[in-house]
Chains A and B, each alone.
Chain A
Amino acid sequence: MDLQLSPDDLAFRDEVRAFLRENLTPEVVYRSHTEVHPPNEEDRRWWNSVLNRKGWAAPSLPVEYGGTGWSPIRRGIFERECRLAGAPELRWQGLRLIGPVICEFGSEDQKKRYIPPILEGTEQWAQGFSEPGAGSDLASLKSTAILDGDKYIVNGQKIWTTEAGYSELGFFLVRTDTTSKHGGISMIIIDMSSPGITVRPIEMINGDPSTFEVFLDNVEVPRENLIGEPGTAWQQTKFLLANERTSSADIDKAYGDLRRIRAIARREHKNGRPLIEDPGFRQRLTQLELEVEALEWSVLRVLCNAPSHHPSAASASVLKIKGSDLQHKLTKLATDALGPRALRLYTREQAFNAQISALWPGYVPGVTHDMLYMRACSIYGGSREIQKNIIAKIAFAM
């Protein structure tokens, strides 16, 4: 075993830091650190193009399609540094989910058409998987795409389609063969401005619409928008998920959260002393710091394909359970640190515009918002309970 970062990786980290220092502005950094969901869309698109000029926009893509060729460790370093420096979080649907799928399964025409705007950030994507009757049980989805000459006619309803309201394109799971229960599911690319598409925001407990309902009513989609052969969506979906084995750990966000909690606790007071010196608070904070540090090692083990005592296919679920549990605890501790000031409801505009008055310093907005938003993290992407079923099956054959 060699448990240290190599000098080359450390030099790479310095290079990333220097680049971030030169290219980020204080306004953008403030908005990113505020943790309002969804983040500022203009910032994200701008940053996508800045990174593309450097050739760093798409670490998830193969090198021949504009990827970086970094090792998993370097990708991890890059993402950590970006997060802590306050770089806008790039939209992941195009760069991390459908981009790699198109490179792997798409036609040459699809690659030419869709990959360059993904790299530049000019076309953003929505992921249309869940339906009202198909949440964790994706196999029971009902949306259909029926071939009619050189086009598919798509009908159905999608829900929890993150950021669909401001995305140019979407990739959807649809049933192209309506005769079988499990087969016949295909992945298809749909222009979100097509006639017959209605997108409706879902109001969430954190106040802002980051997720949407999408109604598909006789939407005409060119036949060549289907990815791969009809009925092969499971293979593509599996590939898509396998690319994202560690992201559900949310490890970069967790480190950002810890830093924010410490910053708040240095400024807030309890019994006339800085909160950070309160033994009870310190104990909770330290416990979380240690669990985050351990989770970091769990992520590193997966990134490095460490030999495992248990089937490695279970590791994404293990990371997700721990990562979402820590998100709940971290965001709660952050609101606890604010005391009653955690209760103020900020508009998006207020939150992104630094401090309102001395009574409401810049570290207040976003904290409670983030806590409310993060209640969803143990639900989306396969709920915690589903993850436990998966682990029992894969690791223990139960």
Chain B
Amino acid sequence: MDFALTDEQKMLADGAARYVRERCDLESRRKAAASEDGFSRRHWRHFADQGWLALTLPEAAGGLEMTVEDMSILVEELGRGLVCEPLVDSAVTCAHLLSASGSEAARAILADIATGEAIVTLAHLEEGDHSEYDAPVASRAERIDDGWTLSGTKTCVFYGASATHFVVSARNNGDDGYGLFLVAADADGIRREGYSLIDGTRAADVHFDNVRVPASALLHEPATAATVLESALDRAVVIFGAGVVGSMEAVLELTSEYLKTREQYGKPLASFQALKHRMSEMLVETEQARSALYSALAAIDSDDGQRRRRAISGAKALIAQSGHFVIGEGIQLHGGIGVTEEYAVGHHFKALIVYDKRFGDSDFHIERCGQIPAEEPQAP
């Protein structure tokens, strides 16, 4: 077992850290949030230039075939800087769904994901759903001569108004499960209603009204779609989790610096034991989150589905819980300025809430873990 980063991983982390330091100030992030996309096209181009969008893609699509672990190391650094571009949605979640498909259309789009030309996002949640992991899917896919027509309404489609393509889940009459389809966002019959999210990014409700797609749009048959989707979601959960750990580290740094600078009653806040203890508790929780992340990284490629599911759900729950404590207390220790829009700690908090609510919250994942029997340690 070895936790040291490889030289390649170090370069990746350093490059991202430098980018965050030099280019990702809060002011420009707030400006990006106010734009039509809810993120910065300038950052997006830089991501493509750096090869970050191609990191985990297959070589055939111009990708670097690096691992989920590598991507986590990158995203942890970006999380420190509150980076909000659709990197994971497009270049991890949907890219995984595309590269796991044999379809010709998928391969072409993958190359465009790597260059940033394509932004692909998952259109899966529908009214009343709480988690991508157990969404029942009511949208319909009907077979026509040369393909399919898709109908239904998807909600909370992240970056939905800026996406060039969707991966859409829809059910064919008579099939047990749902299939996953690749659909161009400008296809006839698609209507999008975009809205802002609390963290400044944007999502959309997407209505599909008899949208015609060719036969090749079917990325995954119902027999395999749910399994492939689960493994794509697992990757997203772990990598986004790394971003939250980065957020927590940033908040520790911000808060401890603030406590040393701000004076009350004639001495720095850092000299008050109640506040020292709170900082220590925040570190304990941050370390728990990082450990949960490693636990998930260790299991992400496991063939043992039970083990993987438990580790991923466990990490999702613990990272969100620890993050809520650490970043919430980060606000508290800042006092009034912590709840202002011009200060970063509140933005970290909102990014955390987005993580918590995506892919199922902590309650959902703890219950999901509880359904998997813990590995009973062997007694001789």
**Is B9 at the interface (CB under 8 A from chain A)?**
yes
Query: Of A94-102, A294-302, A356-364, which binds chain B?
Result: A294-302
Please report which residues of chain B, range 89-116, place their CB below 8 angstroms from some CB of chain A when the two chains form the complex: none
Contacts of B376 in A (CB 8 A): 259, 262
**B366 close to chain A: CB less than 8 A:** yes
Query: Which residue of A6, A20, A315 is within 8 Å of B380 (Cβ)?
Result: A20
B3 nearest CB neighbor, chain A only:
A306
Judging by beta carbons under 8 Å apart, are A86 and B379 in contact?
yes
Whether B3 lies near A84 (C-beta < 8 A) is no
In the assembled complex, the Cα of A391 lies from the Cα of B281 at a distance in Å of 9
Is residue A258 contacting chain B, with contact meaning CB distance below 8 A?
yes
Query: By the criterion CB–CB under 8 Å, are B380 and A286 in contact?
Result: no
A375 CB–B CB distance under 8 Å: no
Residues of B within 8 A of A286 (CB): 366-367, 369-370
B273–A1 touching, CB < 8 Å: no
Does residue B295 face the partner (Cβ distance < 8 Å to A)? yes
Contact A396/B292 with A1-B9, A84-B378 known, Cβ cut-off 8 Å: no
Q: Among the listed stretches B52-60, B160-168, B175-183, B282-290, which one makes contact with chain A, having 4 or more residues with CB under 8 Å of it?
A: B282-290
Q: Which residues of B contact A395 (CB under 8 A)?
A: 279-280, 283
The interface residues of chain A lying within 8 Å CB-to-CB of B369 are 286, 289-290
A282 touches B291 (CB 8 A): no
B292 and A17 contacting across the interface, CB-CB below 8 Å: no
Contact B2 A304 (CB under 8 A): yes
Residues in A whose Cβ lies below 8 Å from that of B281:
321, 388
B276 interface contact, C-beta 8 A: yes
Please measure, in the bound complex, the distance between the C-alpha atom of A338 and the C-alpha atom of B364, giving whole angstroms. 27
B366 touching A398 by the CB < 8 A rule?
Answer: no
Q: Is residue B48 within 8 Å, beta carbon to beta carbon, of the partner chain?
A: no
Least Cβ–Cβ distance between A314 and chain B, in angstroms: 7
Interface contact A293-B314, CB-CB below 8 Å? yes
Main secondary structure of the interface of B (DSSP, over half): helix
Within 8 A of A (CB), among B330-380: 366-367, 369-370, 374, 376-380
Give CA–CA (A5, B280) in the complex, Å: 31
Q: B256 contacts the other chain (Cβ, under 8 Å)?
A: yes
Kindly report which residue of chain A lies nearest to residue B322, judged by CB atoms: A294
Query: Chain B contacts of A1 at CB under 8 A?
Result: 2-6, 9, 69, 297
Pairwise interchain contact B1-A318, C-beta atoms closer than 8 A: no
Residue A322 at the B interface, CB < 8 A? yes
Query: Are B370 and A285 closer than 8 Å at their CB atoms?
Result: yes
Contact of A388 among B69, B249, B280 (CB under 8 A): B280
CA distance A9 to B2 in the complex (A): 13
> In the complex, which of the residues B69, B280, B291, B317 has the most CB atoms of chain A within 10 Å of its own CB atom?
B280
Within 8 A of B (CB), among A363-398: 385, 387-389, 391-392, 395-398
Q: How far is the CA of A286 from the CA of B3 in the complex (A)?
A: 27
Q: What is the bound-complex CA distance between A295 and B275, given in angstroms?
A: 24
Residue on B nearest A320 in the bound complex, by CB: B284
Measured in the bound complex, the distance between the Cα atoms of B281 and A398 in whole Å is 14
| B1 contacts A304, C-beta separation under 8 Å | yes
A266 CA to B62 CA, complexed, in Å: 53
- A: contact size bracket: 35 or more
How far does the Cβ of B13 sit from chain A's closest Cβ, in whole Å?
A: 10
> With A282-B370, A295-B288 in contact, is A301–B295 under 8 Å at CB?
no
CB distance from A351 to the nearest CB of B (A): 20
Indicate if the CB atoms of A262 and B374 lie closer than 8 Å: yes
Contact B287 A290 (CB under 8 A): no
Q: Does B277 lie at the interface of the complex (its beta carbon under 8 Å from any beta carbon of A)?
A: yes
Partner of A294, one of B1, B288, B378: B288
Complex CA gap A387/B276 in Å reads 11
Which residues of chain B are within 8 angstroms of A5 by Cβ–Cβ distance?
1
Point out the residue from A6, A321, A398 that lies within 8 Å of B1, measured CB to CB. A6
71-93 of chain A: CB within 8 A of chain B: 73, 80, 84-86
Assembly CA distance A286 to B321 (angstroms): 14
- Asked if A238 is at the interface (CB within 8 A of a chain B CB), the reply is no
A307 at the interface (CB under 8 A from B): yes
Q: How far is the CA of A20 from the CA of B380 in the complex (A)?
A: 7
CA–CA, A388 and B284, complex, Å: 9
Question: What's the nearest-Cβ distance from chain A to residue B294, in Å?
Answer: 5
The answer on a CB contact under 8 Å between A283 and B1 is: no
A42-83 interface mask toward B, CB cutoff 8 Å, 1 = contact, 0 = none? Answer: 000000000000000000000000000000010000001000
Q: How many angstroms between the C-alpha atoms of A190 and B213 in the bound complex?
A: 86
Q: Evaluate contact between A391 and B283: CB separation under 8 angstroms.
A: yes
Give the docked Cα–Cα distance between A318 and B288 (Å).
Answer: 9
- Give Cα A295–Cα B289 distance, bound, in whole angstroms: 10
Interface centre among A85, A279, A315, A318 (most CB of B within 10 A): A318
- How far is the CB of A329 from the nearest CB of chain B, in Å? 13
Q: Give the docked Cα–Cα distance between A279 and B380 (Å).
A: 31
Residues of B within 8 A of A147 (CB): none
Contacting residues, chain B, for A388 (C-beta < 8 A): 276-277, 280-281
| Bound CA–CA A388/B162 (angstroms) | 47
30 pairs, A vs B, C-beta closer than 8 Å:
A3-B69, A3-B294, A9-B1, A80-B377, A84-B377, A283-B367, A286-B367, A286-B369, A289-B374, A290-B314, A290-B369, A294-B289, A294-B292, A294-B295, A295-B288, A295-B291, A296-B291, A300-B3, A301-B294, A306-B3, A307-B4, A315-B287, A389-B277, A392-B277, A392-B279, A395-B280, A395-B283, A396-B279, A396-B283, A397-B256
* 7 other A-B residue contacts (CB within 8 Å) besides A3-B69, A296-B295, A398-B275: A1-B2, A1-B4, A1-B5, A279-B367, A290-B292, A301-B3, A391-B283
Residues of chain B having any CB pair with chain A under 8 Å: 1-6, 9, 69, 249, 252, 256, 259-260, 270-271, 273, 275-277, 279-281, 283-284, 287-292, 294-295, 297-298, 311, 314, 317-318, 366-367, 369-370, 374, 376-380
Closest 8 CB pairs of A and B: A306-B3, A21-B380, A392-B276, A297-B291, A3-B298, A391-B280, A388-B280, A286-B370
